[in-house]
Every structure is written in structure tokens, then in C-alpha cells.
Amino acid sequence: MAATNCSNSMPGTKPTNTGGKQSGPSAEQVVAGFQRLRQEQRSLATKAAELEMEVNEHSLVIDALGEADPARKCYRLIGGVLVERTVQEVLPALYCNREQISKILESLNAQMQAKGKELNDYRERFSIRIAGEEEAAHKTTVREREGVGPKGRGTGVLVS
């Protein structure tokens, strides 16, 4: 997914890749690439949460209809149209939909894992530190070594 840099670029122009080749990207490009990766990971996580809710809703409906008479009428929303069916007709479709959503969810989770690894590799390659993350861990270990309590000489900046 990383952009490639042409080797015959014009003199005086900066390369526009985020791959970290010899000349290397500017700090702004590194930050923009990192934020793009984080946003992609967030959108994958959001979609995964939505699909998990769909699976849970399908399970609730399957449980409710499993106890009903198979000849009983039920209504199903298909493409914005409410159609009348029987429980016997709807249950197999619900099972199938739940299984398909579960497979998509597994695929999405694998993509999320890969994106997380890509994000960590990017952080390591460009030595990116997130404000407050490593500093807080470092300050905690320093305070523990020095025996300074929480009211010690804290001069850090709180970044949310």
C-alpha cells in the first residue's frame, strides 16, 4: 500500500513516498502516514464492532424464533421492504446470514491484526513516539527507582 518513488525524479524536488528510502520522507510525511495507518485501523475496528453487533442481533432473533411454532407468521425486512414469511422460512436464512457475517468478521479481525503489525513496524522504522505513552511509562519507572511519590517533582505535560 505504500507509494513508490521514481528513481528518475527531477533535481530539486522532494520525493513523495512514505517508504523511508535513502533520502527519507519529511517529518510531516511520516506523521501523515502514521495517522493514515491509525485511521485505517480505527475504521477496521469500527466495522468489526458493527459486525459483532449484527451477529449478536442475529443470535437473539434465532433464539427467539427457535422457540416459536415453525408455521407461525413472522416479518422480515428485505431491502427496505417488510415481507411476511413463516418461522420455518426465516430461520435458515438467519443461520446463513449469521455464518456469513461471522466469516467476514474473522477476515476483518485478521486485517486488523495485520494493520496493527504494519502500524508497529512503521513506528519502529521511523522511531515514532506517541505523546504521553512512553513518557508516562518512563516517568513511572524513574519515580519507582528514585522512590519519588506521586507528589514528587512532576514537570511533565499532560497530553490527551
Q: What is the domain range of residue 50?
A: 27-143
Residue at 14 is within a domain: no
78: phi then psi, degrees, rounded to nearest 5: -125, 110
Q: How many domains does the chain have?
A: 1
Residue at 12 is within a domain: no
Residue at 152 is within a domain: no
Residue at 53 is within a domain: yes
- Beta-ladder partners of 73: 86
Res. 89 pLDDT band, cuts 50 70 90: very high
Does pLDDT of 16 surpass 90? no
85: phi then psi, degrees, rounded to nearest 5: -140, 180
> Which residues does 128 contact at the CB level (< 8 Å), separation at least 6?
30, 31, 34, 122
pLDDT of residue 46: 98
Residue at 159 is within a domain: no
Say which CATH number the domain at 128 has.
Answer: 1.10.287.370
> Which residues does 132 contact at the CB level (< 8 Å), separation at least 6?
158, 159, 160
Query: Could you report the per-residue pLDDT of 26-82, keeping only the tens digit for each?
Result: 989 999 999 999 999 999 999 999 999 999 999 999 999 999 999 999 999 999 999
